[in-house]
């Protein structure tokens, strides 16, 4: 067990092959994650309700201009943004591959439409006025997968439709990869730094355990790699990987423009700093008004 940890070294050529994401789609994992989505003590898995309300109001006034819209939320989680948008009279669809989150969303948003699917493979539908891709989700996929997702978003919008991407700042991803090695025990004290990828000490297991966390910043690739080693009494060692791709503003712009988006604009964190020491920025872009969907 110890040798497995000590001998491990990230293989740069295999960054995006195999398990490069924590398995949020696993049934039991998704149940534990749902608890974090619904927590009102932090803004890490999902934002707290008051902050979501502020962000949705910014979307309503600054992006939608208070117009009734058909909205698609990719990686919607338990549908917390969709709930607020539905209350404003919009027609909403959400896609996520977390079983527990989609079940919760369906139970609490009866009028919305939800699909339990992987957004890399799912059909998004057509004629949306706005597509949301929030909370740095664009950074957790490989560059090739992100390009595919952006192209699919473009195809699913109405002419003149808008995509809103909430993306990690480049320096935020770099700090994530340069964060010091750490460990924590279930029920113990852990770091509360914003860059700490550990959101709760029961995320990886509800049984007593010790977690070792090792972060790597790969400068040439622009990738932060976090490894989580979970040690439980009487069980095999578990290993999880979280890979995050950093992009400069110019690279975000190029990613969108290569999919034919126009009017790419950076908005800071929903127009201003709603989150203290924010590590995100909002990017919007339009589909050409004269193009057929």
Per-residue pLDDT of the chain (293 residues; tens, 9 = 90+): 788 888 888 888 888 987 888 888 999 999 999 998 998 888 778 889 999 999 999 999 999 999 999 999 999 999 999 999 999 999 999 999 999 999 999 999 999 999 999 999 999 999 999 999 999 999 999 999 999 999 999 999 999 999 999 999 999 999 999 999 999 888 654 444 433 444 456 788 889 999 999 999 999 999 999 999 999 998 999 999 999 999 999 999 999 999 999 999 999 888 765 555 579 999 999 999 876 54
Answer yes or no: do 77 and 117 share one domain: yes
Only one residue has tokens 């960054």, namely: 15
Answer yes or no: do 133 and 270 share one domain: yes
- What is the reported pTM? 0.92
What is the 8-class DSSP label of residue 21? Answer: S
- Whether residue 192 lies inside any domain: the answer is yes
- Whether residue 38 lies inside any domain: the answer is no
Q: What is the pLDDT of residue 194?
A: 34
- Whether residue 31 lies inside any domain: the answer is no
Q: Do 37 and 43 form a contact (C-beta atoms < 8 A)?
A: no
Question: Left (φ > 0), alpha (ψ -120 to 50) or beta: where does 66 sit?
Answer: left
Answer yes or no: do 260 and 148 share one domain: yes
Q: What is the DSSP annotation of 212-224?
A: EEEEEEETTTTEE
Answer yes or no: do 211 and 102 share one domain: no
What is the rounded CA–CA span in Å between residue 68 and residue 35? 32
Answer yes or no: do 112 and 175 share one domain: no
Question: Strand order of the sheet with strand 91-96?
Answer: 113-116, 91-96, 70-74, 128-133, 157-168, 280-286, 262-266
- Whether residue 118 lies inside any domain: the answer is yes
Nearest partner of 82 among 109, 55, 120, 59, judged by Cα:
109
- Whether residue 44 lies inside any domain: the answer is no
Answer yes or no: do 56 and 153 share one domain: yes
What is the rounded CA–CA span in Å between residue 221 and residue 243? 11
Q: Do 198 and 215 form a contact (C-beta atoms < 8 A)?
A: no
Q: Strand pairing partners for 213?
A: 182, 228
What is the rounded CA–CA span in Å between residue 61 and residue 118? 30
Q: Which domain holds residue 152?
A: 49-169+248-286
Q: What is the pLDDT of residue 191?
A: 46
Answer yes or no: do 218 and 128 share one domain: no
- Whether residue 175 lies inside any domain: the answer is yes
Answer yes or no: do 149 and 180 share one domain: no
Answer yes or no: do 275 and 140 share one domain: yes
- Whether residue 30 lies inside any domain: the answer is no
What is the rounded CA–CA span in Å between residue 202 and residue 180? 21
Q: Phi first, then psi: what are they for 284, rounded to 5°?
A: -120, 155
Number of domains, the chain: 2
Q: What is the pLDDT of residue 196?
A: 45
3-state secondary structure of 131: strand
Sequence-ordered alpha helix ranges (H) in the chain? 2-6, 27-38, 49-58, 80-87, 99-108, 143-156, 170-178, 249-257
Answer yes or no: do 232 and 222 share one domain: yes
Answer yes or no: do 132 and 179 share one domain: no
Q: Strand pairing partners for 72?
A: 93, 131
- Whether residue 32 lies inside any domain: the answer is no
Q: What is the DSSP annotation of 163-191?
A: EEEEEE-HHHHHHHHHSPPEEEETTS---
Nearest partner of 139 among 94, 177, 190, 108, judged by Cα:
177
Q: What is the pLDDT of residue 247?
A: 98
Q: What is the pLDDT of residue 292?
A: 53
Sequence-distant (6+) residues with CB within 8 A of 185 are 201, 208, 209, 210, 211
Alpha-carbon torsion, ordered 251, 253, 255, 260, to 10 deg? -160
């Amino acid at each position: 067990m110890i040798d497995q940890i000590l001998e491990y070294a990230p293989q740069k050529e295999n960054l995006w092959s195999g398990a490069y994401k924590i398995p949020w789609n696993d049934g039991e994992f998704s149940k534990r994650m749902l608890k974090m989505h619904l927590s009102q003590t932090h803004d890490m898995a999902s934002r707290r309700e008051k902050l979501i309300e502020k962000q949705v109001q910014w979307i309503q006034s600054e992006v939608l201009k208070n117009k009734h819209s058909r909205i698609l939320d990719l990686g919607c989680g338990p549908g917390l943004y969709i709930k607020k948008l539905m209350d404003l009279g919009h027609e909403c669809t959400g896609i996520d591959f977390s079983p527990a989150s989609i079940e919760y969303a369906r139970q609490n948003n009866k009028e919305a439409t939800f699909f339990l699917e992987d957004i890399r493979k799912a059909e998004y539908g057509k004629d949306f006025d706005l597509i949301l891709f929030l909370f740095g989700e664009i950074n957790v996929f490989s560059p090739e997968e992100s390009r595919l997702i952006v192209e699919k978003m473009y195809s699913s919008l109405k002419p003149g439709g808008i995509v809103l991407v909430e993306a990690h700042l480049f320096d935020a991803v770099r700090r994530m990869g340069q964060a010091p090695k750490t460990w924590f025990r279930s029920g113990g004290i852990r770091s509360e730094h914003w860059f700490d990828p550990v959101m709760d000490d029961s995320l990886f297991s509800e049984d007593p355990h010790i977690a070792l966390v090792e972060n790597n910043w790969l400068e040439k690739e622009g990738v932060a790699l976090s490894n989580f080693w979970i040690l439980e009494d009487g069980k095999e060692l578990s290993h999880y990987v979280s890979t995050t791709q950093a992009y400069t503003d110019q690279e975000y712009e190029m990613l969108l423009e290569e999919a034919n988006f126009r009017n790419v604009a950076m908005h800071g964190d929903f127009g201003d700093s709603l989150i203290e020491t924010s590590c995100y920025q909002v990017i919007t872009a339009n589909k050409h008004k004269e193009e057929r969907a």
